[in-house]
Amino acid sequence: MEKICVAVRVRPAVPQEIFNGTFWNVEDNRVSLHRQHGTPISGLSFAFDHVFDENCGNARVYELLTKDIIHAAVEGFNGTVFAYGQTSSGKTFTMNGSSSEPGIIPLAVRDIFDNIQMMSDREFLIRVSYMEIYNEEINDLLAVENQKLPIHESLERGIFVAGLREEIVNSAEQVIKLIESGEVNRHFGETNMNVRSSRSHTIFRMVIESKGKETNPSGDYSSSDAIRVSVLTLVDLAGSERIAKTGAGGVRLKEGKYINKSLMALGNVINKLSEGAKQRGHIPYRDSKLTRILQPALGGNAKTSIICTIAPEEVHIEETKGTLQFASRAKRITNCAQVNEILTDAALLKRQKLEIEELRSKLQGSHAEVLEQEILKLRNDMLKYELEREKLETELEEERRSRKERDECIREQQLKIQNPSNHVMVSDSDRSFSQELDSRTPKEECDDSNSVCQADVFRTPSYKAAPNAFVVMRSNYSRLPDYSPLPDSFSNMADEDTWFKMNKGYIADLDMLQMTPARKVQSFPLNDATPGCSNENYRQEVQKLKAQLELVTEEKNEFQRKYTEQVLLNDQLNGEISELTQETLLIQEIPRRLCESVASCKDFYEDALSTMQSFASDGNSSTAELLSSTSEIGSSLFSSLETLFSMAADGNKSFAGNYSLFQEHCKVLCERLKSTITTLVLSETQTTDNKQVKNPQCRCDNKGCALEEETACWKEKLSNELNTIKEKYNGLEKEVDLNNKFLEASKERYGSLEREFQLLKEERDSLIETVAESSQKLAVVTDQKENVLKDLNSEVHRRKDIEEEIKQFSVAFASRQKSLVSFHSELKSKVEKLRSQNPVPVPKSLGY
């Protein structure tokens, strides 16, 4: 038993991605999530067999993770390597690589051929195949015409894809060319996350067969005759993806759903396998083609490595956490790999010869006596076993014989039931004999009559002339005769002893003959209306029904298990949906909050303006005019903002359309405001300049200033106030800009969440449908099961009835025999009496 080797590889970050708060840190074989200033986040640190950072190349990954598996594959062990991770995290880069940096697959291919070159004592046959699982269908990448291939399982080959092309290869270059030709047929597609995203799981397989060369001087059986067959499986999985992130729609969306579904099945298998052997129960390998094909690699006969690729960007944290959790669970799986050796007859013979040789050499050695004793003991044991075997054989033979007798007895009874009319008059053992007689001539019959008696084969005399009518009459209830008819002739009638023997000692009572109710006889299935009523058939039928019942029960259990899983999944989805709904509600809150902050800004703005207006006491001055104009613009701006946000908060549909109108409006108002302020500032500067020209000494010391100077002073103050307002206005403008951006981002997020929500809803609906279908199937299966049970019950009842009827028939039969015997003896005595009363006269011609 050995654990699966699990490694994590971090892809280099995308240059334009900004890291704000957190990042993944790699240290030795540990990867952990850190805050920007370096402190690790608890609970998010994972250790694996290897962790490769973004600077690590494919060659090193191959060296540490795959090389051993490749060597073992050449030695006869099955090996599997697969890459798992979210879309665009670098799986294909790891498995296939690029022209400048070959990946695991090309490196493995070359390594295998290098290894083979070095093993001069064995000869190899290598076959390769390349397939993909696209939308849960298996397609051959080396032969495009081979589509939708089925998976089969057999004892010799294990799990295999039927109809897949396998090319025999003898060089690495040949394999690389085949892979290149297969790559052309592979499904790739562009998504928001990856311009060349794998839309299918690809599976590259090499079957390595090897056999020791004949010329091997050592004569070792395993190196000359045993054939080793190993399978190396290299898998590039499609990446798990969030539909909202990949922006998938149409075909991509369908592909994405299949990809996620099969990866979920893989996750379920890994989860189950990672649980302790006791809790684990059923492993759902059959839930997807991927898990079915990977079955030997997961908990089976294979050496397995998993490379989990992760994307370091902050936006992918959730997916990365998922991948690392998958990897952690996979680490707990154990496999049991062993060399796959097929021994030929010659190899077996050699192995035995070697064992004998070994024993012989041991005998000749110093432990000869001990070994001899051991051999004696073994011989004794063997004799004991032989005796035991013989005893068992005898017992078995006896058992067989008694069983045969029982069967015979049952068959006889059965025949009686099937055709009572014949058996009333003819014993079963005589049936064939009677038939034989049927076919003979009357003369033969007559000649044989003696021999019949002599041979102790019993039959009712004249059974052909009267009995059929007799039985028919008796078996017909409506025309039941009062008395049994007398036989036509007594010449060939059996004597009393014979009758006694035949009836197994029953003494007949003549009255009983009249009393035998014909109805009893009639109740038997005379014309074999119930097919399969022989015991053997019946047993077979019951066996069949039992097997059917077992199958149905198994099927039902399977359905029930699937149903429970789907219910769980449904619950999970419901949980996710409610989380998303809450998030949506929070996002919907944003415009309301913005609305509130706009209202408070508006209050502040109005306060500021009223203060300014109180300064400009002269309502007709240019300053007052400008102020009122500013106030008007500002109010209009704020009202628009308020309306807009309240529309967004109420979820008004025209919000999106009005928003661009508002932006236009906002621009116009801002321009107006700017030009107003500029005019105001210019006029103020001019006024101040004029004042200064007129009275250069005036510096507003308020000492003896004239009224004009006072006004100028006020104006200067006002100008200062206006500047402050201008600054505040600019600040507000920036804030509005920021809010706008925030709103835009929120809108996008809201949209994507809504889409995701929609998708989840769809998925949930389809799951509900599947659950409903499963329930229907379950109901059908339950019905079937009930029907089968009913059939079984009725069959049991039928059998009981038949048994009951057999019993009654036997009683009737016995009493009938008894009556016949007594009737016969009475008749005989009457005939004797008559004869004695009427002696036969001697013919005159005798001449006394």
Ligand X SMILES: Nc1ncnc2c1ncn2[C@@H]1O[C@H](COP(=O)(O)OP(=O)(O)OP(=O)(O)O)[C@@H](O)[C@H]1O
Residue choice 80, 129, 197, 419 for contact with ligand X (CB under 6 A): 197
Backbone angles phi, psi at 245, to 5 degrees: -80, -40
CB of 197 to ligand X, least distance (A): 3
Q: Which stretch binds ligand X (CB under 6 A): 85-93, 209-217, 630-638, 682-690?
A: 85-93
Residues 6+ apart with CB under 8 A from 60: 52
Q: Tell me if residue 481 falls in helix, strand or coil.
A: coil
- Between 305 and 630, CB nearer to ligand X: 305
Site string for ligand X, 608-627 (x = CB under 6 A): --------------------
Q: Which stretch binds ligand X (CB under 6 A): 189-197, 277-285, 400-408, 569-577?
A: 189-197
Residue choice 90, 267, 299, 487 for contact with ligand X (CB under 6 A): 90
- Between 197 and 475, CB nearer to ligand X: 197
CB of 237 to ligand X, least distance (A): 7
Q: Residue 461 interacts with ligand X (CB under 6 A)?
A: no
* Secondary element (H or E) of residue 1: none
Q: Which residue type sits at 50? A: H
CB of 195 to ligand X, least distance (A): 7
| DSSP result, 87-140 | TTSSHHHHHTB-SSSB-HHHHHHHHHHHHHHH-TTEEEEEEEEEEEEETTEEEE
Q: Which stretch binds ligand X (CB under 6 A): 80-88, 538-546, 632-640, 669-677?
A: 80-88
Q: Tell me if residue 707 falls in helix, strand or coil.
A: helix
Q: Is 87 annotated as a binding residue?
A: yes
* Cα gap 641→637, rounded to integer Å: 6
Q: Is 717 annotated as a binding residue?
A: no
* Cα gap 590→308, rounded to integer Å: 38
CB of 154 to ligand X, least distance (A): 33
Instruction: Say if CB 128 and CB 169 are below 8 A apart.
Output: yes
Q: Residue 239 interacts with ligand X (CB under 6 A)?
A: yes
Residue choice 66, 80, 87, 274 for contact with ligand X (CB under 6 A): 87
Beta pairing partners, 306: 6, 82
Beta pairing partners, 158: 154
Q: What is the CA radius of gyration of the chain?
A: 51
Q: Which stretch binds ligand X (CB under 6 A): 90-98, 324-332, 465-473, 481-489?
A: 90-98
* Cα gap 655→652, rounded to integer Å: 6
Q: Residue 210 interacts with ligand X (CB under 6 A)?
A: no
- Specify burial of residue 734 (Cβ count, 10 A radius: 0-12, 13-18, 19+): exposed
Which residues ranging from 507 to 526 are in contact with ligand X (CB under 6 A)? none
Q: Residue 200 interacts with ligand X (CB under 6 A)?
A: no
Question: Residue 104 has which token pair?
Answer: 């695991």
* Cα gap 686→692, rounded to integer Å: 10
Residue choice 2, 3, 12, 280 for contact with ligand X (CB under 6 A): 12
Task: Tell me the HSE value of 450 on the side-chain side, using a 13 A CA sphere.
Answer: 2
Instruction: Say if CB 644 and CB 658 are below 8 A apart.
Output: yes
* Secondary element (H or E) of residue 227: strand 227-236
- Between 81 and 518, CB nearer to ligand X: 81
Q: Is 775 annotated as a binding residue?
A: no
Residue choice 78, 198, 202, 414 for contact with ligand X (CB under 6 A): 198
Instruction: Say if CB 421 and CB 409 are below 8 A apart.
Output: no
CB of 64 to ligand X, least distance (A): 15
Residue choice 91, 201, 423, 602 for contact with ligand X (CB under 6 A): 91
Beta pairing partners, 35: 22
CB of 314 to ligand X, least distance (A): 17
CB of 61 to ligand X, least distance (A): 9
CB atoms within 10 A of CB 700: 14
Of the candidates 480, 497, 431, the one whose C-alpha atom is nearest the C-alpha of residue 459 is 431
CB of 193 to ligand X, least distance (A): 6
Of the candidates 52, 33, 50, 48, the one whose C-alpha atom is nearest the C-alpha of residue 94 is 52
Pairing label, strands 122-134, 227-236:
unpaired
Size, binding site for ligand X by CB under 6 A:
17
CB of 44 to ligand X, least distance (A): 22
Q: Is 88 annotated as a binding residue?
A: yes
SS3 string, 582-629, reads HHHHHHHHHHHHHHHHHHHHHHHHHHHHHHHHHHCCCCCCHHHHHHHH
Q: Which residue type sits at 645? A: F
Q: Is 85 annotated as a binding residue?
A: yes
Of the candidates 35, 247, 289, the one whose C-alpha atom is nearest the C-alpha of residue 138 is 289
- Between 88 and 414, CB nearer to ligand X: 88
Q: Residue 93 interacts with ligand X (CB under 6 A)?
A: yes
- Between 9 and 228, CB nearer to ligand X: 9
166 CA to centre of own chain: 27
Q: Is 218 annotated as a binding residue?
A: no
649 CA to centre of own chain: 45
Site string for ligand X, 270-309 (x = CB under 6 A): ---------------------------------------x
CB of 246 to ligand X, least distance (A): 8
Q: Residue 202 interacts with ligand X (CB under 6 A)?
A: no
Residue choice 32, 78, 80, 89 for contact with ligand X (CB under 6 A): 89
Residue choice 88, 210, 224, 230 for contact with ligand X (CB under 6 A): 88
Q: Is 501 annotated as a binding residue?
A: no
Instruction: Say if CB 163 and CB 149 are below 8 A apart.
Output: yes
- Between 130 and 823, CB nearer to ligand X: 130
Q: Tell me if residue 242 falls in helix, strand or coil.
A: coil
Residue choice 11, 165, 245, 316 for contact with ligand X (CB under 6 A): 11
Residues 6+ apart with CB under 8 A from 646: 591, 592, 595
CB of 194 to ligand X, least distance (A): 4
Residue choice 31, 32, 77, 85 for contact with ligand X (CB under 6 A): 85
CB of 320 to ligand X, least distance (A): 12
Q: How far apart are the first and last CA of the chain?
A: 116
Q: Is 847 annotated as a binding residue?
A: no
Q: Which stretch binds ligand X (CB under 6 A): 87-95, 282-290, 451-459, 666-674?
A: 87-95
CB of 200 to ligand X, least distance (A): 9
Give the residue carrying structure tokens 């510096």.
Answer: 699
- Between 85 and 299, CB nearer to ligand X: 85
Q: Residue 320 interacts with ligand X (CB under 6 A)?
A: no
CB of 224 to ligand X, least distance (A): 45
Q: Tell me if residue 47 falls in helix, strand or coil.
A: strand
Residue choice 179, 232, 238, 283 for contact with ligand X (CB under 6 A): 238
- Scanning 153-249, the segments in alpha helix (DSSP H) are 172-185, 221-224, 243-246
Q: Residue 194 interacts with ligand X (CB under 6 A)?
A: yes
Q: Per the annotation, where are the binding residues?
A: 85-92
Q: Per the annotation, where are the binding residues for ATP?
A: 85-92
Give residues in contact with ligand X (CB under 6 A).
Answer: 11-12, 85, 87-93, 194, 196-198, 238-239, 309
